Chains A and B, each alone.
Chain A
Amino acid sequence: MNARGATLEIEDVTLQFGGITAIRNLSLRANPSELLALVGPNGAGKTALLNCINGIYQPTVGAILLDGLDIGGLPLHKMVEHGIGRAFQHAELFPHLTVTENLLIGRHCRFRSGLWAAGIYFGKARREEMEERRRVESVIDFFELYRHRDMQVGALPYGVQKMVGVARALCMEPKLLLLDEPCTGLIREERENLARFLLRINHEIGPTVIWVEHDMQMVSDLADRIVVLNHGAKVAEGVPDVVRRDPVVVEAYLGHAATA
């Protein structure tokens, strides 16, 4: 489970819905294996940007390059094959399937056997199922989800569901991992676990991570670089210490109290 991090280049992207501009002339670059945090107030365009990278939205103007390849206009389901894994803000798991089955769906693209082989469950189809199960178990180990393995996801607490969401994204062996507010709604212990997992993902597996987050303290402690969005435009970018002292960021995001 060792993924090479990809370079992501966002070049002058604008996203409009009718008269509303969600993202305005945004350019940014994520370096290989970097943990890049994306922060900004509600409605700043963070999730919209992830949706553009992920292919759920098509940018009105601009290009998105993954390792130099233009991925704009590719169908949604092709993104996993190009190495983009996404964990959603509300996990978006399949509630009637177990944790293991949800993670196996994360490995859907690796299955090569046809309908007949799957229906007869013989030879390659059977071997594939075992092989992918083995890989999924290593992700279950990584996220310490053992005791939830055979539970239906819909019956699990919210915090565990979000962890399964991140685990499912990691099952895709992404070169670029998109995490949409993985900590929101978690209790303190779960947040600390997630921080640990994020560092382990960064150090041991090594995909490029784009991490949307609200918790400025956590972001400053963990991220390599921070990009601050406000009203769909980039207002600051850089290493945490610099960004936190940027007066524009303080004004837009941290509020005046922080300057006092």
Chain B
Amino acid sequence: MAAGSPYLRVSYAETNRIFPEPYQRVVVTAALVALLAVPFFGSGYLLHLMNLTFLAVIGAVGLNLLTGYCGQVSLGHASFMAIGAFVTAILTNLYAAPFWLAVPASCIIGAAVGFVVGLPALRFRGIYLAITTLAMHYAIIFILTTYQAKFGSSATAGISIPAPVIGSWQIEGGRSWYYVLLLTGVATVLFGLNLSRSYVGRAWVAIRDRDIAAASVGINVTRFKLLAFVTSAALAALAGSLGAYFSGVVTVEAYTLELAILYLAMIIVGGMGSIAGSVLGAVFMTLLPFWIEHGFDMLPPNWRLGSTSYGLQEAAIGIVIILFLLFEPKGLIEIYRRIALYFERWPFRYRELSPAERR
């Protein structure tokens, strides 16, 4: 291959790049430029949807590091987000904490809770771990419900949070939030991608694949399992804290078990053990209810379901999980990989062998 060819790699730094192929770098740069430009022509509705998506991306990357990479099934993700949101609410209301202090503090408290929730993972696996995280979810939500009933403005109205201020810039309105959440989302994705190509990510995958072998090659399984829980919970708390600021009000009712399952759906749909997959899944699952709504709006008026379409949106989460597990268990990212492989091999094609040929 000629010197200077984009396919010739001459250092380990080049092989270890996040986007090793030149076309990937072009596409990603173009996408980032497009994302930066969206607020200049996008409607308020579009910006709102994208802000919700960015929040989901942060949470989904966090969950994928824990469940997709380290293999620890967690139903506690919504409660980690609730922790982030409530810590933010308490710090801003009781201590008038500024934005730059409340967000990191929420992450740290979230991480501490993640550590505690992660302790049973040292003993339990799979479905048993899922049940213990479920119990933790309900314990945390119970505590927060009690807190909200006692100290909220009323039992159901939740706790309001003032719009955050950085220096003299008040973050208010879809456009300001768009840039804050875009920046945080991109930073989270980069953090996840870097972890996944470092020794930490490799250790997590090793624990997921074979934990005894992982220990015997020198991986401290206890430490890295807890590290996965701590990292994941911190990112969930980050999403929770920013989400609380973004919506301006914190109610415990927002952090249901359905939310935890929605996040699991994101990483199943996007692709377990893939950061890019978490992004795709977060986009898909966040926009799904809006697509369903639009779909119904296109029907003749007497065919529309009105408010009952909400139930359909909930059911759609389950249906989508089942469909993906059946037909595309490796998620949306696998579709991308297939397309990329097609062009890599073009004009040749890989043909699946028939059972007769295989014998």
Residues of A within 8 A of B (CB): 54-56, 75-77, 79-81, 86, 88, 92-97, 101, 104-106, 108-109, 111, 113, 115, 118-121, 125-126, 128-130, 132-134, 168, 172
B223 — nearest CB in chain A belongs to which residue? A77
Bound Cα distance A76, B220 (Å): 8
Question: Residues of B contacting A129 with CB < 8 Å?
Answer: 12, 16, 197-199
Bound Cα distance A76, B212 (Å): 9
Residues of B within 8 A of A (CB): 11-13, 15-16, 191-192, 194-195, 197-203, 205-206, 209-210, 212-221, 227, 231, 273
The answer on a CB contact under 8 Å between B198 and A172 is no
Question: Residues of A contacting B216 with CB < 8 Å?
Answer: 54-56, 76-77, 79-80, 86, 88, 92
**Most chain A Cβ neighbours within 10 Å, of B13, B197, B210, B216:** B216
B227 — nearest CB in chain A belongs to which residue? A115
The count of A-to-B residue pairs whose CB atoms sit within 8 angstroms is 105
B215 — nearest CB in chain A belongs to which residue? A76
Q: Smallest distance from the beta carbon of B94 to chain A beta carbons, Å?
A: 29
In the complex, 29 of the A-B residue pairs with CB atoms within 8 angstroms, ordered by the A residue number, are: A56-B212, A75-B220, A77-B218, A79-B216, A80-B217, A81-B218, A86-B216, A88-B216, A92-B216, A94-B209, A95-B209, A101-B202, A104-B199, A105-B206, A108-B217, A113-B198, A115-B200, A115-B227, A119-B192, A119-B194, A119-B200, A121-B194, A121-B197, A126-B13, A129-B197, A129-B198, A130-B11, A133-B15, A133-B16
The answer on a CB contact under 8 Å between A108 and B227 is no
The answer on a CB contact under 8 Å between A94 and B205 is yes
Q: Smallest distance from the beta carbon of B7 to chain A beta carbons, Å?
A: 13
The answer on a CB contact under 8 Å between B219 and A108 is yes
The answer on a CB contact under 8 Å between A97 and B194 is no
Main secondary structure of the interface of A (DSSP, over half): helix
Task: Tell me whether A105 and B200 are in contact in the complex, defined as CB-CB below 8 angstroms, given that A81-B218, A133-B12 are known contacts.
Answer: no
The answer on a CB contact under 8 Å between A120 and B16 is no
Q: Smallest distance from the beta carbon of B193 to chain A beta carbons, Å?
A: 8
Task: Tell me whether A118 and B199 are in contact in the complex, defined as CB-CB below 8 angstroms, given that A79-B218, A172-B218 are known contacts.
Answer: yes
Question: Residues of B contacting A105 with CB < 8 Å?
Answer: 199, 202-203, 206, 214, 217, 219
6 tightest A-B CB contacts, nearest first: A80-B218, A118-B198, A121-B194, A92-B213, A76-B215, A111-B199
The answer on a CB contact under 8 Å between A97 and B198 is no
The answer on a CB contact under 8 Å between B206 and A130 is no
Bound Cα distance A81, B215 (Å): 12
Bound Cα distance A97, B16 (Å): 14
